[in-house]
Chains A and B, each alone.
Chain A
Amino acid sequence: MGKDQGVVVDTGASKLSDLWTQEDYWAIWLGFFVLMVGMILFFPKATDEVRQTISQANANLEMASARAPFKTLAWYQALDTKKKLKASASPEGKWIKKVTSAPKGWKQNPLEAFWMSAPAASAKAAKAKETYLKVAMAEKMALVEARASEKMAALAGFSDDTKNASAVKDIDAWRAVKAKASKAKAKTRVTGYNQVPWLFLFMGFLIVFFGLGYAVMGGGFGKFAAGFVVVFLVATLAYVAAGNGSMKQYGVGYAAWAIVFGLIISNTIGTPEWVKPAVQTEYYIKTGLVLLGAEILFGKILSIGIPGIFVAWVVTPIVLISTYLFGQKVLKMPSKTLNMTISADMSVCGVSAAIATAAACKAKKEELTLAVGLSLVFTSIMMVVMPLIIKAVGIPHVLGGAWMGGTIDATGAVAAAGAFLSERALYVAATIKMIQNVLIGVIAFGVALYWVTKVEAAEGNHVGLIEIWRRFPKFVIGFILASIIFSAIYQAVGKDVAYVIIDQGAIRGLSKILRSWFFCLAFTSIGLATNFRELKEYFKGGKPLILYFCGQSLNLILTLTMAYIMFYLVFPDITAKI
C-alpha cells in the first residue's frame, strides 16, 4: 500500500486478495461500514408520529398556498414544523456529535476550543442573552408588521399587487430577523465543556478504524497507531485554527490549515520517521470520498426546477471542459492532472471537487495543494466583491443568488455572500450550489473513465475493457454506489422523510462529521509529506493562476448569462414563485 505517496490514487491489480490488500477496497469497506451504522441508527427514526407531523404540515402548506399567491406566514410556520424534524436530534445522535465533534469556535483564547469552565460559560451566555433579547424584540416587531401587511393583502382578497408586494417584503424581513434571532438564541445555550476526553476517545476509535485495514494490508498496527497520534493532533490543531472567529469569517477552513501546519512541520523540524506510517493521504481521502458519495443525492437536482439544471449542470461542464482545453492547448500546462484538478476545483465547487477529481485522475498531492490554495484565495475575494457588485449594479436577488451559487467555489462562502444579500438570494444561491455539488459524482466518474481510457492510452498503452477495469480506481465504484443507494432511498421514502432520516440523520448526524475528519487527516498528511521547494515548482510561470483566472472569468460570464436567460426569459414563473 501507498507505494507511490506522491500520487493521490494508486493502480489496481485484479486478484481476489485485492479485496483485503488494497486501500481502494478498504476505503469502500470502511465507508460502507459507517454508512450502515448511520442507516441502523437513524432510519428507524421515521416513526408514525414523524410521518403524521409531516402530513399535517403538508396539509397546512397546501392550504396556505391555495389561500394566497405568495408564501404567507402560515406557509413558513408549516415549513418550520418540518424543519425541526431531525433524526440527529435523538439521544444517540447527540452522543455521536459529542464524541466526534471538532474543537469548538473561539475568538481570542484558543483554549476555548477545548475547554470552558461553567462560570465562564455562564458569563458568555449572559452576554449572549443581552444580544438575543434585542434581536428577539426586533423579530417580534417584524412579525407584527408582517402580520399587519398580510392582513391588508387578505382584506383586498390577495388581488392587490401593491399590497401583496408589501406583504412579501415584510414577511421576507421577518424571515431575515428570525434567522438572526435563531442564531443569537443558540449562543445563549452555551454551557461549560471539556472536549479533551472525547477527542482522545475519538482518536482511539480512528486508530482502530484505520489501523485494522493498515495491518491487514501488511503494515504494523503499532507503528500506525504511534504515528497516527501526531497526525490526529495536527489535524485537531487545523480545526482549532479554522474555528477562530476571523478565520471562519474569511472562509479559511481546516483544509488550508491542515496543509499549512503539515508543511511547517515537514519543512522545518521535519516529519519524524516514526510518524510516516500514519501519513496515508490516499487511504483517508478515498474513505472520505466513499462517505461523500452518500451525500451526492440525485433527487436534489430538481430542487429549483429546470433553471437550476441549466445553470449548474450545463454551464459547469462547459466551463470545466473549456478551461481544461484552454490549459492544454493555449497555456500548454505541463501537467494534465494539475490542469484537470484546477479546472474542476474552479468550475464545480472548490475543495470537495478538487479532492474528488484529483483522486479520480491520479493527481499529485502538490497539485491538489495548489488547487486548494487558489480556490481559497479566489473564494475569499469573490465572497466579498460579488455582493458589492450585485448591490451596486442593482441586479435582482434571484439572479444575483444564482450567479454567486454557480461561481463562488466554497459552499460556506456561497451561504455567507447569499445571506448577506437577502434571504431570497441565499435560497437560490444555496440551491444552485447544492445542485452543482451533486455534479461531483458525475465529474469524478467521468474523469476517472477518461483518464484510464484516453489519457493513459495516449501514453502508448493499449486499453481494453479488462484493462480499463484493472486501472479504474476502485474506490470510485464505492463512491458512485453510495450515491446511487442513498439517492434511491431518498426517492423511495420521499423528500420529507428523507430530510429527517438522510439529510438530518445518516448524513449530518454521522457520515459528514467523519468525512470532514478524514479529509482533514488527508490534508494534514499532504502537508507532512510535501517539500515546499517541490510545491513551488508547480507554480512556475504562474500558469495555474492564469488558468484559474481565465476559467473563472468565463464561468462568471456564462453563469450570469444562463441564469438571466433561465430565470427571467424562459422560466419567469419559477422566479416569481421564489
Chain B
Amino acid sequence: MKKNSRADKGLRFLLCVGAVAAVIWGTGPLLNDWSVINPLMTFIEERDIDAGAYYYTDIEEFAEAGLIMDNTMTYCVNR
C-alpha cells in the first residue's frame, strides 16, 4: 500500500482543522438563527447555562435546584 507523503498528511490535517473552524464559526452561529431553536439558544446564552455539562456537580443550576427541593421537602408541610 502506498504510504501517504508528509504533504498529504499535512493537507488532510489542515482540511480537518478547516472543517472544525467551519462548525464553530459557521454552522453553529448559522443554526442559532433558525426560528425553531433560536428562543432556546438565546435563553441559554442569557442564563449562561453550560448545556454540555456532564454531571450534576458541573452545573450551578443543579446546586440551587437541589437546595430548593431539599428545603421544600423539609419545610413546606402546610400546603
Residues of A within 8 A of B (CB): 58, 61-62, 64-66, 68-71, 75, 79, 82-83, 108, 179-180, 183-184, 186-187, 241-242, 244-256, 260-261, 264-265, 267-270, 292, 295, 300, 302-305, 349-352, 383-384, 387-388, 410-413, 415-417, 419-420, 426-431, 433-434, 437, 495, 499, 503-504, 507-508, 512, 516, 519, 573-574, 576-578
Evaluate contact between B57 and A507: CB separation under 8 angstroms: yes
Closest Cβ of chain A to B6, distance in Å, is 8
Which residues in B have their C-beta under 8 angstroms from that of A292?
55
CA distance A577 to B77 in the complex (A): 8
Evaluate contact between B73 and A305: CB separation under 8 angstroms: yes
Number of residues from B at the complex interface, CB < 8 A: 54
What are 10 A-B interface contacts by the 8 Å CB criterion? A83-B63, A246-B41, A253-B50, A264-B13, A268-B10, A295-B55, A303-B69, A410-B51, A434-B62, A508-B57
Evaluate contact between A65 and B58: CB separation under 8 angstroms: no
Evaluate contact between A260 and B10: CB separation under 8 angstroms: no
Which residues in A have their C-beta under 8 angstroms from that of B66?
300, 303, 430-431, 434, 503
State whether the Cβ of B37 lies closer than 8 Å to any Cβ in chain A.
yes
Closest Cβ of chain B to A491, distance in Å, is 13
Which residues in A have their C-beta under 8 angstroms from that of B67?
79, 82-83, 499
Evaluate contact between A411 and B70: CB separation under 8 angstroms: no
Q: Which residue of A lies closest to B47 (CB)?
A: A183
Task: State whether A577 and B62 are in contact (beta carbons under 8 Å apart), knowing that A245-B45, A248-B44, A416-B51 are contacts in the complex.
Answer: no
CA distance A241 to B77 in the complex (A): 46
Evaluate contact between A183 and B46: CB separation under 8 angstroms: yes
Task: State whether A61 and B68 are in contact (beta carbons under 8 Å apart), knowing that A246-B32, A264-B16, A507-B57 are contacts in the complex.
Answer: no
Within 8 A of A (CB), among B1-24: 9-10, 12-13, 16-17, 20, 24
Task: State whether A269 and B17 are in contact (beta carbons under 8 Å apart), knowing that A350-B54, A411-B59, A419-B61 are contacts in the complex.
Answer: no
The secondary-structure label for the interface of chain A is helix
Evaluate contact between A433 and B56: CB separation under 8 angstroms: yes
Evaluate contact between B9 and A577: CB separation under 8 angstroms: no
- The answer, among B40, B58, B73, for a CB contact under 8 Å with A303, is B73
CA distance A253 to B45 in the complex (A): 15
Evaluate contact between A416 and B48: CB separation under 8 angstroms: no
Evaluate contact between A62 and B75: CB separation under 8 angstroms: yes
Which residues in A have their C-beta under 8 angstroms from that of B29?
246
Evaluate contact between A431 and B63: CB separation under 8 angstroms: no
Q: Which 7 pairs from chain A and chain B are nearest by CB?
A: A253-B52, A246-B28, A412-B53, A430-B65, A251-B51, A268-B13, A268-B12
Evaluate contact between B68 and A427: CB separation under 8 angstroms: yes
Closest Cβ of chain B to A479, distance in Å, is 14
Evaluate contact between B72 and A578: CB separation under 8 angstroms: yes
Evaluate contact between A512 and B55: CB separation under 8 angstroms: yes
Q: Which residue of B lies closest to A504 (CB)?
A: B63
Evaluate contact between B54 and A79: CB separation under 8 angstroms: no
- The answer, among A186, A419, A437, A577, for a CB contact under 8 Å with B72, is A577
The secondary-structure label for the interface of chain B is helix
Evaluate contact between B76 and A71: CB separation under 8 angstroms: yes
Evaluate contact between B48 and A244: CB separation under 8 angstroms: no
Q: With A246-B31, A265-B13, A427-B65 given, name 11 new contacts (CB 8 A).
A: A61-B74, A184-B46, A254-B52, A304-B73, A383-B51, A410-B54, A415-B53, A416-B43, A419-B43, A419-B47, A433-B56
CA distance A248 to B51 in the complex (A): 6
Closest Cβ of chain A to B68, distance in Å, is 5
CA distance A457 to B36 in the complex (A): 51
Of A79, A250, A426, the most chain B CB neighbours within 10 A belong to A250
CA distance A420 to B44 in the complex (A): 8
Evaluate contact between A431 and B61: CB separation under 8 angstroms: no
Which residues in A have their C-beta under 8 angstroms from that of B78?
65-66, 68-69
CA distance A82 to B78 in the complex (A): 22
Which residues in B have their C-beta under 8 angstroms from that of A244?
24, 28
Evaluate contact between A242 and B52: CB separation under 8 angstroms: yes
Which residues in A have their C-beta under 8 angstroms from that of B46?
180, 183-184
Evaluate contact between A576 and B50: CB separation under 8 angstroms: no
CA distance A352 to B56 in the complex (A): 10
Evaluate contact between B62 and A79: CB separation under 8 angstroms: no
Which residues in B have their C-beta under 8 angstroms from that of A508?
57, 63
Closest Cβ of chain A to B9, distance in Å, is 5
- The answer, among B37, B55, B61, B74, for a CB contact under 8 Å with A349, is B55
Which residues in A have their C-beta under 8 angstroms from that of B40?
383-384, 387, 416-417, 420
Task: State whether A268 and B54 are in contact (beta carbons under 8 Å apart), knowing that A415-B49, A415-B62 are contacts in the complex.
Answer: no
Evaluate contact between A431 and B59: CB separation under 8 angstroms: no
Evaluate contact between A249 and B45: CB separation under 8 angstroms: yes
CA distance A427 to B66 in the complex (A): 7
Which residues in A have their C-beta under 8 angstroms from that of B44?
248-249, 416, 420
Closest Cβ of chain A to B64, distance in Å, is 6
Evaluate contact between B36 and A384: CB separation under 8 angstroms: yes
Task: State whether A251 and B12 are in contact (beta carbons under 8 Å apart), knowing that A516-B58, A577-B73 are contacts in the complex.
Answer: no
Evaluate contact between B51 and A413: CB separation under 8 angstroms: yes
Task: State whether A411 and B28 are in contact (beta carbons under 8 Å apart), knowing that A416-B49, A495-B70 are contacts in the complex.
Answer: no
Which residues in A have their C-beta under 8 angstroms from that of B53?
253, 410-412, 415
Q: Which residue of B lies closest to A264 (CB)?
A: B16
Closest Cβ of chain A to B22, distance in Å, is 12
Evaluate contact between A437 and B56: CB separation under 8 angstroms: yes
Closest Cβ of chain B to A421, distance in Å, is 10
CA distance A504 to B61 in the complex (A): 13
Evaluate contact between B24 and A412: CB separation under 8 angstroms: no
Evaluate contact between A183 and B48: CB separation under 8 angstroms: yes
Closest Cβ of chain B to A493, distance in Å, is 14
Task: State whether A187 and B51 are in contact (beta carbons under 8 Å apart), knowing that A303-B66, A387-B40 are contacts in the complex.
Answer: no
Evaluate contact between B56 and A384: CB separation under 8 angstroms: no
Evaluate contact between B76 and A577: CB separation under 8 angstroms: yes
CA distance A69 to B71 in the complex (A): 14
CA distance A572 to B43 in the complex (A): 30
Of A412, A428, A429, A508, the most chain B CB neighbours within 10 A belong to A412
